[in-house]
Amino acid sequence: MGDVICITNTSGDLSVAGLRFTPDTDAALRAFTPSPARPSTSTVSSTLAELGLAPGEWPILDDESVAFAVARNYWRARGETAATCAQLQSPAAEARVIPATNEPVELHVIEENEAGERSSRPVARWLGDADRGEPQAFGVAGLEQSTPSPGVLDALRSSDVVVLTPMSPVLDGPGLLGVPGVRDALRGTAARVVVMSPVGLPTSRDGDAERSAWSQAGLEMTSAQVAKLYADFADVLLIDEDEAQGSYPGRLNVTRAPLARALVGDVEAAREVRTTVLGA
């Protein structure tokens, strides 16, 4: 296998107290960096909670993420790009990790209170709110003004295989595929484009929130729906081995794989998924 380039979604990033947190990029860098596992500590968030700052105001984050956010602010103030910051954050990473956008973008949810007044807030805060209301709409703030990070479009156009890992078409997809030039690059690439369906897979998100998001967007929570959304560029749709049969576009290669088992740590299942992706 050749070089691996991982393009991370930036619409789930969040600014808190002047610091920019990038959970998807951090997770990718951890996954691709061979280093001994360090115990997760939360001294900063615990201390803030003791000072009266509830998780809704300061999302629960581990100390390492806070340190990364401080370093990232320093590097950006020095003029570094988002892609360079990722490289500086984890120089030993075995893949090139590139944030999708160089400028900040955030997925926001529109809510309506009992008085009929509408307001917007980052989805990251909405997901963490036990008393959240039903969403009225979603939108990615800053997306139209954003530009792809250097290397993003070239990677999509020149790769042998492009893999879209399991992501919500409502809470993840717009912030990645809506970046100017990204969808066009996927349509025009000579690479085989493999989409992993998120349906039926374990997730760290609240299931009710995910279902509410799909429902608000008028989408059925099925892999057949995922296929329709990505039919303009997908060559292969990978669905979980236990998913029910569905009706898919004729040109699409629909392949079953043990996705759910792989995501919960089954090593053999992960090997099978890898083999399927590279040879699908």
Please tell me the predicted confidence (pLDDT) of residue 41: 87
What is the C-alpha to C-alpha distance for residues 220 and 211, in angstroms, rounded to an integer? 9
Q: Which residues of the chain have pLDDT under 50?
A: 1
What is the tens place of the pLDDT at every residue in 44-72?
A: 888 888 888 766 656 667 898 899 999 99
What is the tens place of the pLDDT at every residue in 188-236?
A: 999 999 999 999 888 767 777 788 888 888 888 889 999 999 999 999 9
User: Residue 29 half-sphere exposure, CB side, CA atoms within 13 Å?
Assistant: 21
Please tell me the predicted confidence (pLDDT) of residue 55: 60
- Would the pTM count as exceeding 0.75? yes
